[in-house]
Chain A
Amino acid sequence: EAQVTQNPRYLITVTGKKLTVTCSQNMNHEYMSWYRQDPGLGLRQIYYSMNVEVTDKGDVPEGYKVSRKEKRNFPLILESPSPNQTSLYFCASSPSGSSPLHFGNGTRLTVT
């Protein structure tokens, strides 16, 4: 089944403890992206990747890192999480930068 898989679905952590949210797609998509969803703010893009080894900042990149060492994986790294990073995170992919997005089921992160 074609899908975008995020792990974990739920994560509770403490301030400053490094964490990684994984994202993997099995559709051989070139483009991948991370969003955060907050009430009243909709979806805001954190980082995106047009292809392997090519990443760029979205609208809200502060406090996040990404890497794209292989086409299928695009992990989101929080080196030192803070409470304002408590949010619902979505990974998405598409065949190209101009095709509709396929979304994962989300990761709900709580930082205390």
Chain B
Amino acid sequence: AQSVTQLDSQVPVFEEAPVELRCNYSSSVSVYLFWYVQYPNQGLQLLLKYLSGSTLVKGINGFEAEFNKSQTSFHLRKPSVHISDTAEYFCAVSDSANFGNEKLTFGTGTRLTIIP
């Protein structure tokens, strides 16, 4: 069985500062990895995904994430945040050999708050 750990439930960051949101996963097989973002009073939307190939993945709104197999991590980064980045961010993992949304496991989320 796979699992996802987002160690930080809340991350406050000053505007224009860099941010890293941490995600670690546990799985006995190869995985696909995702970051979803949830803006206030909205549903989740896909930020970026890692399926294969380059371990550095670029997403929307200037975010990127790096897949590190040895550390079983998929941390999300942005070099300079804006007020509009205030949202909750969810990491998700799926077994690549049997990938299907029915097998997608979400983390508990990290609430990113941007301080003006």
Contacts and interface: CB of A to CB of B under 8 A. Distances in A.
Interface of A: 4, 31, 33, 35, 40-45, 48, 50, 56, 58, 90, 92, 94, 97-106
A60 to B, nearest CB: 12
Chain B interface size, under 10 / 10 to 19 / 20 to 34 / 35 or more: 20 to 34
Interface of B: 9, 34, 36, 41-46, 49, 90, 99-102, 104, 106-109
7 contacts: A40-B108, A41-B108, A42-B107, A48-B101, A92-B101, A98-B99, A101-B46
A42 B43 contact: no
B108 A42 contact: yes
Contacts of B109: 42
Interface of A, secondary structure class, is strand
Most chain A beta carbons < 10 A, residue from B9, B104, B109: B104
A42 B101 CA distance: 16
A8 B36 CA distance: 23
B101 A104 contact: no
A64 to B, nearest CB: 15
A106 B43 contact: yes
Contact of B45 (A43, A48, A103): A103
Contact of A103 (B34, B44, B102, B104): B44
